[in-house]
A and B are shown apart, each in its own frame.
Chain A
Amino acid sequence: MPAHNDPFFPHRVDESVEQLASTNPFDNVTDAQPSMDVNERLVHDMQKLYSLERKRYQRALQRVEDRLVAHYTTSSDGHSAPAPIPDREARRVSEQIRQGRFYQMENRQRSKFGRRVGLLVAALVMVVLVGSMLLVLNATHQKAVQHPGTTLGAAHNSSTTAHFGQTLYTTPGSSAGFQGLSWSPDSKRVASLTDSVQIWDAITGAHRVTVHLPTGSWPYALAWSPNSQLIAIGTNNSLVIADGQSGAIVHSFAVNSSASTQNNLSASYLFTLTPNGGGLGVRALAWSSDGHSLAISISHGPTGSLEVVNAQTGAQDYTLPVTGNYVATALAWSSDGKYLAGNVFNTQPGAQTIPAGEQKMVWAWNASTRQVIFKQTGGNGTGDPLAWQPGSDNLAFVTGVPGKGGTTSALVVWNVATNALVKQYPVAAFGPVAWSPDGKYLAYGGFASQGTASIVGILDASSGEQVYTYKQMHINISALAWSPNGKYIVSGEGNSTGDMVAKVWTAE
């Protein structure tokens, strides 16, 4: 076989094997057929030969992942019970502590510290719980009397920051944590994305309904319709439109992640070769402000595509270009609907050709020219990673900037239309960002005390001054949203026992 035609030529050997294996996923390798060419037969037989061993490794990797997640979810907070590590592991850990292994000592110190902070916060939570009813009633009363219809800025200037951070209620999440929290545009309901989608009354936390997704579907993304009637849910295999009050499914549009791809390889990636962060299905969506269309990011595994579809019929209106191995995991329209911004990440694990600055990026498209007009490093995918300043072309997100002793994080605001950096706030932010509805304040999830505490900081966008800091425990703020009426913030966080909860607190 001439070298240039040989699929096993060195520079494309990986890709060829993936392609040849495509007709036969590793899970279910059939015998090679005589009709196959020699290359295909070889790859088939190799798959078959190694399939049992491969399954064994997959199970081992899965076991470690399960242990890691179990350990993480119980030990993220020092107050909780010890992680379910087998005895053997516990012995090893204690032995290492005896040997003075540095990181284990650090761990132990931290857990002591965590326990102290845990007790302190538990006490505070008790006080807050007892006092919250009175405080809320009091606050509501004062608002009604003193500041009828005041804006957030006015409230801050005129009086007090005491209205920040008073908890209205705490509502439990699942062990999966909150991947998204979203206020209905009328500020009456909150939708949460955990391993399911739940909707509850925004002010009391009551009247909780669960959207019953079809078996085998799990949610990746959600968005409210502008009239607060419907929520769109992106799942691994469909776009679901559900009633925002009852949670009943109104429409369901199947999304064929593999069939709609331009790249035939995408459905055929092998187990660990699959860019696991990519997943399949609808990874992000954003409802246009006129309510007619939905922008959806579809992941095909190694590649992604971006479609704007009719929200009524699910029919595709147009597509926006996503070049290279990128998938968008968050989308947002600018207030005037001119631009769509997305947090994209590169799906190729271990691809050394991708510079570090291009692994996670924020892109923006012009909806009328359908071109990418903005590309910057940033957005780490955790929390709500990007937010448009209401009424402007300014986009806020977290990025890394060169500093003393390496890259440090910063919150940046870029004007997407002019491609100019508007503001850079040197704060230890890690992900979720949210603008106040008047665009004057910017809330972000970040770190304090050398990373030992997780906070929500609220910045005055023009001066960069931190006007309020809402402190939390070790568990990072996983989602953040400012109510459209400007009064409250909902944050997904860990409580003192390490459970994930959503808290709604005052922010005016």
Chain B
Amino acid sequence: MRQEQTVLLNEKAYLTAVYQRYAPALFAYLYRHADSLEDTEDLLLEVFQAALEREGFEYLSAKEQEAWLWCVARNKMVDHHRRRVRRQGIPLDLVPEDVYEPDRETPEVILLRREKYERLHASIRRLPAVQQEIVHLHFALGLRSAEIATVLHKSEGAVRVMLSRALKLLRKIYESE
């Protein structure tokens, strides 16, 4: 038989490829709903471990794999919140959003000492909340519109329009210079 054909995705490489394809968007989703980066990492790991435990995951088409991973991620998030509620005994509604805010902002603070970025940052803060979120997902997590759409439960077209609007608004600071 011919020996030329070579293999590129053995099992581990296949796992890595699947991970790298879907992890960023799942990470964004989990991070958006979990409390901390540490919890997000644990949850993301659990999602992929569940995929490893599912027999014949490799058989699924890419779309089915994606849908399956998202389904697991959503269930994990529900579990996570239930657990958290049980552990801490605090209703979710009472957990102030901004408790976790400084964690997200810390790295930026360093840069914000520079006036230019301060102005840009201030402009981002003035954007509607959903546009801020989209800009954050696009630039900080590197997601494309289609992936952002899945994370935010919106259509891709809507995300593109909002990202487009946000960038055009932000561009105004440079145009007015």
Which of A182, A183, A350, A409 is the one whose CB lies under 8 Å from B144?
Answer: A350
Stretch at the interface among A44-52, A123-131, A260-268: A44-52
A54 touches B142 (CB 8 A): yes
Residue A213 at the chain B interface, CB threshold 8 Å: no
Q: Find chain B residues with CB under 8 A from A338 CB.
A: none
B58 touches A359 (CB 8 A): no
Q: Whole-angstrom distance between the alpha carbons of A65 and B107 in the complex?
A: 23
Given A49-B117, A89-B42, A273 and B144 touching (CB < 8 A)?
yes
A185 touches B64 (CB 8 A): no
Which of A13, A224, A384 is the one whose CB lies under 8 Å from B163?
Answer: A13
Closest to A409 in B: B59
Closest to A21 in B: B139
Please encode chain A, from 32 to 54, with 1 for each CB lying within 8 Å of some chain B CB and 0 for all others.
Answer: 00000011011001111110111
Residue A450 at the chain B interface, CB threshold 8 Å: yes
Residue A506 at the chain B interface, CB threshold 8 Å: no
Residue A372 at the chain B interface, CB threshold 8 Å: no
Q: Find chain B residues with CB under 8 A from A64 CB.
A: 19, 23, 27, 41, 44-45, 48
Q: Find chain B residues with CB under 8 A from A68 CB.
A: 15, 19, 45, 48-49, 52
Q: Find chain A residues with CB under 8 A from B55 CB.
A: 447, 450-452
How many cross-chain pairs have Cβ atoms below 8 Å apart between A and B? 292
A17 touches B138 (CB 8 A): yes
Q: How many residues of A contact B (CB 8 A)?
A: 124
Please encode chain B, from 22 to 52, with 1 for each CB lying within 8 Å of some chain A CB and 0 for all others.
Answer: 1111010001000001001110111011101
Which of B16, B54, B157, B167 is the one whose CB lies under 8 Å from A69?
Answer: B16
Residue B98 at the chain A interface, CB threshold 8 Å: no
Q: Whole-angstrom distance between the alpha carbons of A17 and B160 in the complex?
A: 12
A177 touches B12 (CB 8 A): yes
Stretch at the interface among A2-10, A143-151, A203-211: A2-10
B45 touches A89 (CB 8 A): yes
Interface residues of B in 63-118 (CB under 8 A from A): 63-64, 66, 79, 83, 104, 107-108, 110-111, 116-117
Given contacts A54-B139, A360-B62, A384-B5, 15 further A-B contacts (CB under 8 A): A8-B168, A11-B160, A49-B120, A60-B41, A68-B49, A92-B46, A176-B10, A179-B6, A179-B7, A182-B6, A270-B142, A273-B144, A289-B2, A380-B14, A384-B7
Going nearest first, the 10 A-B pairs with the smallest beta carbon separation are A52-B107, A276-B20, A286-B4, A272-B142, A451-B55, A332-B5, A478-B10, A356-B61, A329-B8, A381-B9
In the complex, 8 of the A-B residue pairs with CB atoms within 8 angstroms, ordered by the A residue number, are A68-B52, A272-B142, A349-B22, A350-B150, A352-B156, A359-B63, A380-B9, A407-B64
Q: Residues of A with Cβ closer than 8 Å to B?
A: 6, 8-11, 13-14, 17, 26, 38-39, 41-42, 45-50, 52-54, 56-57, 60-61, 63-65, 67-69, 71-73, 76, 85, 88-89, 92, 95-96, 101, 103, 106-107, 110, 175-180, 182-185, 193, 220-224, 234, 270-273, 275-277, 283-287, 289, 329-333, 335, 349-352, 356-357, 359-360, 380-388, 390, 400, 407-409, 430-432, 434-437, 447, 450-452, 475-476, 478-479, 481-482, 484, 492
